[in-house]
């Protein structure tokens, strides 16, 4: 889903809202039929209520999120490298 006007609502904020907002998740669950393959349609999505902070706050939030994602990626890289180094030490000494 894309914003009709990114001067008001940023696309990335929509993404994070749909991925992580419990409020939006409840709206999606309510819109889904109780069928074997639950789904929602475009009209349902267009009628969801989304919190729209000021554009400056959206940019600030996205900057913080991107910094945290970079920290997570770096930490995962360190952890993955530690596991390989641990295996090398075990192989060398055992």
Identify the band that residue 90 occupies on the pLDDT scale cut at 50, 70 and 90: very high
Q: What angle do CA 78, 79, 80 make, to 5 degrees?
A: 95
> 52 and 3 in contact (C-beta within 8 Å)?
no
- Structure letter (DSSP) for residue 9: S
Identify the band that residue 51 occupies on the pLDDT scale cut at 50, 70 and 90: confident
pTM: 0.70
Instruction: Find, among 7, 40, 37, 3, the residue nearest to 24 by Cα.
Output: 40
Q: Which helix (H) or strand (E) holds 86?
A: helix 55-93
Burial (0-12, 13-18, 19+ Cβ within 10 Å), 13: buried
Does residue 74 register a pLDDT over 90? yes
Domain ranges of the chain: 1-52, 54-94
Distance CA(43)–CA(69), nearest Å, equals: 32
Q: Residue 1 has what pLDDT?
A: 75
């Amino acid at each position: 889903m894309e914003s009709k006007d990114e001067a008001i609502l940023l696309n990335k904020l929509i993404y994070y809202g749909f991925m992580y907002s419990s409020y939006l998740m409840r709206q999606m669950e309510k819109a889904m039929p109780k069928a074997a393959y639950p789904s929602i349609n475009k009209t349902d999505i267009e009628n969801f209520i989304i919190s729209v902070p000021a554009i400056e706050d959206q940019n600030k939030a996205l900057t913080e999120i991107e910094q945290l994602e970079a920290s997570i990626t770096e930490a995962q890289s360190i952890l993955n490298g530690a596991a390989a180094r641990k295996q090398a030490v075990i192989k060398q000494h055992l």
